[in-house]
Amino acid sequence: MRVLVIGSGAREHALLLALRRDPEVDVLAVAPGNAGTAAIADQHDVDITSGDAVVALARQIDADLVVIGPEVPLVLGVADAVRAAGIACFGPSKDAARIEGSKAFGKEVMDAAGVRTARSEVVDNPAHLDAALDRFGPAVGDPAWVVKDDGLAAGKGVVVTADRDAARAHAASLLDTGHPVLLESYLDGPEVSLFCIVDGETVVPLLPAQDFKRVGDNDTGPNTGGMGAYSPLPWLPDEVVTEITEKVVKPVAAEMVKRDSSFCGLLYAGLAITSRGPAVVEFNCRFGDPETQAVLALLQTPLGQLLYAAAIGDLAGEPPLQWDDGAAVTVVLAAENYPGRPRVGDVITGSEADGVLHAGTTRRDDGAIVSSGGRVLSVVGTGADLAAARDAAYRVIESIRLPGSHFRSDIGLAAAEGRITL
């Protein structure tokens, strides 16, 4: 099988590594890729937001399967173009990708599917902002305001704060730049990311993971695209994963089919496990980053065959997934100043070690690998348990040198110490 992966992050590096383990996959290509993926796949520099450009590349390399990693090409309809060209594609249509592209659409689908989620309101007129803020936050019993960009914002458009002025300032800055704002009630409880391979109404959950969105240890500082993750979750009973699959993801997949927006690809449920049970924080239309790096490190089932089956509508015929025992931890190495404007162009040393996945990296003409983005590398450690996986990841990340870089030191720590309870 000849597989083309679209994207350039550590998530795509993880997808390529897992695809490479599949004996049926004999050719791997990536567009545009990064300095790390260049070592394992043919690299092509095309505009991945253009359906025409992706189809032309898929035809040029005679791809049997195109796997689209990031949300932006999905929301723009690149998967539709690939399918229209008669090539199997793992990734939802533009219509179905609205589950992530428009938070308001996601809420509408969840309401229709009877799925518990946060109370929410969209504000698109600055004159209505103050009254709307008064319907959320501590005055009505919520510990904090949750203020989101209603469009795509790579995780960084979210502010969670008990300070009304900070909530107002973030909402006003979004409205000033023409972005509608989504206000939500705060969902208390540990968060879970459950990725499901979906083809129409068939839903196959992967191992659950947890990610760490704040930039600093102990969940301090601003939100990021994700600073680390671990999988599986020792504190989450299997029955809760079954409950999420049956009562959240399957009804949403069925609702999408009912709306003629059938979902084919990776449906990512982000949930909080509240005292009243699981409640959805958001749905995304693609593999999450950095959870994918941990989840796929444990997958034994050949990934190419699995994604191809979903892409051709044959997922129901696939055998149950097989996983390694043990645990995996991802720790993200971020550039100085991330999640603000990152410092770039610095030489990285030590990034060739096992378990290092690249994201914001490029190879300079002189051969040096230099930073070119905010999240620069993901380091994945595996082990018999979470503590061993953490040790493995931190041993490697501490050996990497990048001036000004930073990483969280507490990824998976509370879970490894048994401090997360339901």
288 binds ligand GLY (CB under 6 A): yes
Nearest distance, CB of residue 319 and ligand GLY, angstroms: 28
120 or 305: whose CB is closer to ligand GLY?
120
> Which is it for strands 375-383 and 327-334: parallel, antiparallel or unpaired?
antiparallel
Nearest distance, CB of residue 284 and ligand GLY, angstroms: 6
Nearest distance, CB of residue 12 and ligand GLY, angstroms: 12
The residue behind tokens 């993880």 is 14
Check if the beta carbon of residue 106 is closer than 8 Å to that of residue 99.
yes
Neighbours of 123 (CB within 10 A): 21
Instruction: Provide the mask over 182-221, with x wherever binding to ligand GLY is found by CB under 6 A and - wherever it is not.
Output: -----------------------------x----------
| Amino acid making up residue 226 | G
Which has the closest alpha carbon to 392: 353, 334, 352? 353
Nearest distance, CB of residue 185 and ligand GLY, angstroms: 20
289 binds ligand GLY (CB under 6 A): yes
Check if the beta carbon of residue 411 is closer than 8 Å to that of residue 217.
no
16 or 55: whose CB is closer to ligand GLY?
16
Which has the closest alpha carbon to 47: 27, 20, 76? 76
C-alpha 38/C-alpha 367 separation (Å) is: 13
Two structure tokens written together for 16: 């390529």
C-alpha 19/C-alpha 100 separation (Å) is: 25
Stretch that binds ligand GLY, among 54-62, 134-142, 282-290, 337-345 (CB under 6 A): 282-290
- 341 SS3 class: coil
210 or 305: whose CB is closer to ligand GLY?
210
- Tell me which of 32, 155, 180, 189 binds ligand GLY, using CB under 6 A: 155
Q: Which residues within the stretch 220-259 sit at the binding site for ligand GLY (CB under 6 A)?
A: 226
91 or 137: whose CB is closer to ligand GLY?
91
100 or 255: whose CB is closer to ligand GLY?
100
- Tell me which of 291, 338, 371, 380 binds ligand GLY, using CB under 6 A: 291
> Which is it for strands 2-7 and 27-32: parallel, antiparallel or unpaired?
parallel
- 202 SS3 class: strand
Stretch that binds ligand GLY, among 62-70, 281-289, 297-305, 342-350 (CB under 6 A): 281-289
251 or 270: whose CB is closer to ligand GLY?
270
| Amino acid making up residue 317 | G
Two structure tokens written together for 123: 């504000």
In the complex, the residues that contact ligand GLY under the rule CB under 6 A are 155, 211, 226, 284, 288-289, 291
